[in-house]
Amino acid sequence: MRNLLIFITKYNAFFLFVIFEVSSLIIYVKYNSFQKATFINSTNTVTAGLYTRVSELNSYLSLKEVNDSLARENATLRNQLKTSFFVDTVNKRSVIDSAYKQQYQYIQAKVIDNSINQRNNYLTLNMGSDKGIDKGMGVISSSGVVGKVLFVSRHFAVVQSLLHKETIISAMLADTKDQGSFKWGDDMDPHSGLLYDVSNNARPKLGEWVVTSDQSLWPAGVRIGTISNLHSTKGDGLFLNMDVKLSVDFSKLQYVYVIYNKMALEQKGLEAQEKKDE
């Protein structure tokens, strides 16, 4: 306390100057309308700028929560798409009674590990069996096909990427529905693949979408990519091959959707019974 008093006594002239200066400024602004308006306007401008910076900082810090929320919302919306349902139609006395029954459900997950520069690439998701994810389920992103679930633990899942030498998809041309098979290219380019064994009666066009077919693990119509180059027919000339530019940028994957097919067990049961009868 003694040191404080000594300090104030030593610099009392400076403190008196500050007090008088602040008092004069307050009186000057308070009793002059123009200066008062200018001061308030300047203060509002500075305050608004500070609030803007604080708001931008808060928005940046909350990006993770926003992304998680958007991913959950997208999963909910995908569950409501018409392609997630099948039509149960009954014809009786010339009256058609149609009811949509849901076949596909979408489980949102975050990519926590991913590779794109190997011959066989995989992704790891932060969701597992406790969220309903099982081996063999298809995986997509908002841009298109990503891969299929290969291994599952309680809290995690490993996905065999589209960028894998053993990933082969039943695909078709979006416009004409001509079917073929899709696989990742031998050149290991993470941005392209190959659509092959398409009938030579097809008339594909550069830039045409290649999508999943009804015979694939994924719902029909999910994007794979666009045709970037057409190959000449070889051998007997019965089939066409074409390069495909992938719609998914695997180097930037953050959120994906695991597809639960509610009719998968029924379909597998019938197919198993068919193989026994052969």
Residue 152 has pLDDT above 80, yes or no: yes
Report residue 145's pLDDT band, with 50, 70 and 90 as the boundaries. very high
pLDDT on residue 99: 46
CA dist 126 to 38, 41, 44, 187, Å? 55, 51, 46, 30
CA 151, CA 166: separation in Å to the nearest integer?
Answer: 15
Calculate the CA dihedral of residues 173, 177, 180, 182 and round it to 10 degrees. 40
Contact 144, 247 (CB under 8 A): yes
Angle between helices 12-30 and 33-61 in degrees, nearest 10: 100
Domain ranges of the chain: 18-61, 106-277
pLDDT on residue 249: 92
Specify the CATH number of the domain 106-277: 2.40.10.340
The bridge status of strand 104-114 relative to strand 255-261 is antiparallel
Contact 98, 89 (CB under 8 A): yes
Over residues 206-226, the mean pLDDT reads: 91
Residue among 150, 72, 144, 152 at smallest CA distance from 109: 72
In total, the chain counts a number of residues equal to 278
Report the range of poorest mean pLDDT among 21-25, 115-119, 216-220: 21-25
CA 59, CA 135: separation in Å to the nearest integer?
Answer: 37
Query: Which tokens sit at 66?
Result: 């926003």
Collapsing DSSP states into helix, strand and coil, what is residue 38? helix
Percent of the chain predicted with pLDDT > 90: 36
CA 175, CA 165: separation in Å to the nearest integer?
Answer: 27
**Helix residue ranges, H only, the chain:** 2-10, 12-30, 33-61, 63-79, 264-277
The radius of gyration of the chain from alpha carbons, rounded to an integer in Å, stands at 32
pTM score, whole prediction: 0.64
Q: What is the DSSP letter of 250?
A: G
